[in-house]
């Protein structure tokens, strides 16, 4: 049973078990709507993000088919979240419940943003250099500074690079910044960066 608050939530309201339930419903509706929105944007960008297959193997083998199918089912199944969010947004204190639901997520969002920067940097700086910078940033963000920690981050990065390059035999394209060097430098260094 959920209680509705006719005023802005206070500390006294937080002691009410119904307030906790409202925060959980608000958090679920808000995060579900955000993910639903990402799925909608991804579906709209699908024609731009994919190309035709190299061979005509039928619709099921086209690069766009399975992402479109998964995103379509996700949008249909998650359509209740935006509807629920609109309904909840009419209740007094909605904004405060949203803030309370996502309180303490700042560090997680910082790590997520750092990872997105890392993904973009791989194209420009290469896998190895980007991984070194990303791992150093993660260790700094987590409070592991000074002493041996930068060296531990470097060792972990080299282990990851070796796992991808040697163990899994995955190679990334030559980084963009190597185009400013002579072709011989790019050909020699490109595979290792």
Full-model pTM? 0.58
Position with higher pLDDT, 134 vs 126: 134
Tokens standing for residue 177: 């910044």
Segment 62-97, tens digit of pLDDT: 777 888 899 999 999 999 999 999 998 888 888 888
For the cut 50, the answer to whether the pLDDT of residue 2 exceeds it is: no
| Buried/exposed 78-88: b ≥16 CB within 10 Å, e otherwise | beebbebbeeb
Non-local CB neighbours of 92 within 8 Å, separated by 6+ positions: 4, 5, 6, 7, 8
For the cut 90, the answer to whether the pLDDT of residue 61 exceeds it is: no
Segment 7-60, tens digit of pLDDT: 455 555 555 555 556 668 888 888 889 999 999 999 998 888 777 766 666 666
Determine the pLDDT at residue 1: 43
Position with higher pLDDT, 48 vs 189: 48
Domain boundaries, the chain: 11-101, 106-189
For the cut 70, the answer to whether the pLDDT of residue 3 exceeds it is: no
Determine the pLDDT at residue 16: 59
For the cut 50, the answer to whether the pLDDT of residue 184 exceeds it is: yes
Determine the pLDDT at residue 75: 92
Nearest to 22 by CA among 109, 96, 127: 96
For the cut 90, the answer to whether the pLDDT of residue 173 exceeds it is: no
Task: Tell me 5's DSSP state.
Answer: P
Determine the pLDDT at residue 190: 63
Determine the pLDDT at residue 10: 55
Question: What is the average pLDDT across 95-124?
Answer: 86
Segment 149-159, tens digit of pLDDT: 888 888 988 89
């Amino acid at each position: 049973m959920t209680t509705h608050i006719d005023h802005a939530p206070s500390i006294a309201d937080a002691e009410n078990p119904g307030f906790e339930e409202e925060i959980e419903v608000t958090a679920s509706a808000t995060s579900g709507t955000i993910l639903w929105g990402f799925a909608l944007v991804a579906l709209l960008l699908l024609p731009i993000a994919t190309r035709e297959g190299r061979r005509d193997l039928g619709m099921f083998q086209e690069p766009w088919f399975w992402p479109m199918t998964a995103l379509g089912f996700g949008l249909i199944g998650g359509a209740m979240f935006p509807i629920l969010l609109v309904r909840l947004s009419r209740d007094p204190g909605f904004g405060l419940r949203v803030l309370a639901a996502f309180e303490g997520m700042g560090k997680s969002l910082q790590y997520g943003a750092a990872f997105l920067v890392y993904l973009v940097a791989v194209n420009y700086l290469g896998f190895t250099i980007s991984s070194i910078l990303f791992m150093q940033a993660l260790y700094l963000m987590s409070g592991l500074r000074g002493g041996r920690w930068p060296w531990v981050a470097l060792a972990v990065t080299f282990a990851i690079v070796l796992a991808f390059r040697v163990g899994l035999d995955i190679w990334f394209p030559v980084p963009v910044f190597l185009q400013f060097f002579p072709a011989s430098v790019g050909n020699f260094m490109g595979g290792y960066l």
